């Protein structure tokens, strides 16, 4: 057993030195490895770029102006219908803390008012306030924006410093469990192809020993066949799984 262990260590050292000095074999393994890994990295990067470009935070500044003056873009003032019959100064102050300066209207006929991206109607029913959100047909995600504005306004009215944030989350997102599963199995398929293609590279060295009759000479010198293959495996198998 002592001789067998010594032979295994010797074969391991020879195998390691051969891999170190045979740059052609090592370069072919790394090239084969890099081609497959590069494809997987490109797939993952493309998915992440697509997800980051399609998943964005919805802010009130994209729909409503932070000042009273209108500018020539798709933003408008936030229209407030006061149907309570009283002042709503606290509500307006809470809106201004969100960098929104609303446009207050006391008219009853909503259709006669200028076009706005969205509006909030405040009415009084008994002792309770009723809030109704209205949006134009063009702005996308207007309703979530108005509900978020109302939610943060209520937080300010209750003297809370917290803030609710809203993101647009498309159906086909990298964070979706089904999409994650698809990406995982795609990468797994690439890894299986890579794992199937690596063993022939390691077998080339053994074939060269067979052609040069080096293995036969080692056997005549007293090398155990099991020591030869175990020494080879103790270098090739860890390298294979590391890759």
176-214: per-residue pLDDT in tens? 666 677 777 877 887 777 777 677 766 776 777 777 777
CA separation for the pair 227, 8 (Å, rounded): 5
CA separation for the pair 221, 121 (Å, rounded): 97
For range 115-140, the mean pLDDT: 84
Predicted model pTM = 0.49
Q: Burial level of 228, CB count in 10 A (0-12/13-18/19+)?
A: buried
CA separation for the pair 46, 42 (Å, rounded): 6
Mean pLDDT taken over the chain: 78
Looking at per-residue confidence, does 103 or 106 come out higher?
103
CA separation for the pair 215, 54 (Å, rounded): 60
Contact yes or no for 64/76 (Cβ under 8 A): yes
Q: What is the pLDDT of residue 64?
A: 78
């Amino acid at each position: 057993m002592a001789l067998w262990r010594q032979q295994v260590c010797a074969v391991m050292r020879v195998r390691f030195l051969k891999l170190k000095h045979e740059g052609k074999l090592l370069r072919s393994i790394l090239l084969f490895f890099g081609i497959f890994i590069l494809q997987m990295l490109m797939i993952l990067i493309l998915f992440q770029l697509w997800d980051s470009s399609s998943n964005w935070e919805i802010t009130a500044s994209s729909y409503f102006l932070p000042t009273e003056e209108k500018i020539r873009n798709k933003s408008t003032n936030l229209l407030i219908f006061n149907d309570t019959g009283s002042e709503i100064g606290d509500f307006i102050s809470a809106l201004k803390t969100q960098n929104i300066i609303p446009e207050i209207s006391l008219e009853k006929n909503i259709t006669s008012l200028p076009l706005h991206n969205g509006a909030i109607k405040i009415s009084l029913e008994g002792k309770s306030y009723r809030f109704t959100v209205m949006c134009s047909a063009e702005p996308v995600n207007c309703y979530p924006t108005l509900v978020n504005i109302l939610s943060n306004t209520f937080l300010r009215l209750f003297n809370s410093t917290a803030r609710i944030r809203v993101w647009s989350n498309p159906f086909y997102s990298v964070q979706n469990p089904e999409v994650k599963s698809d990406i995982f199995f795609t990468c797994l398929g690439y890894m299986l192809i890579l794992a199937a293609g690596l063993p022939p590279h390691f077998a080339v060295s053994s074939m060269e020993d067979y052609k040069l009759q080096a293995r036969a000479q080692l056997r005549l010198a007293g090398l155990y066949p099991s020591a030869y293959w175990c020494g080879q495996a103790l270098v090739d198998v860890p390298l294979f799984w590391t890759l």
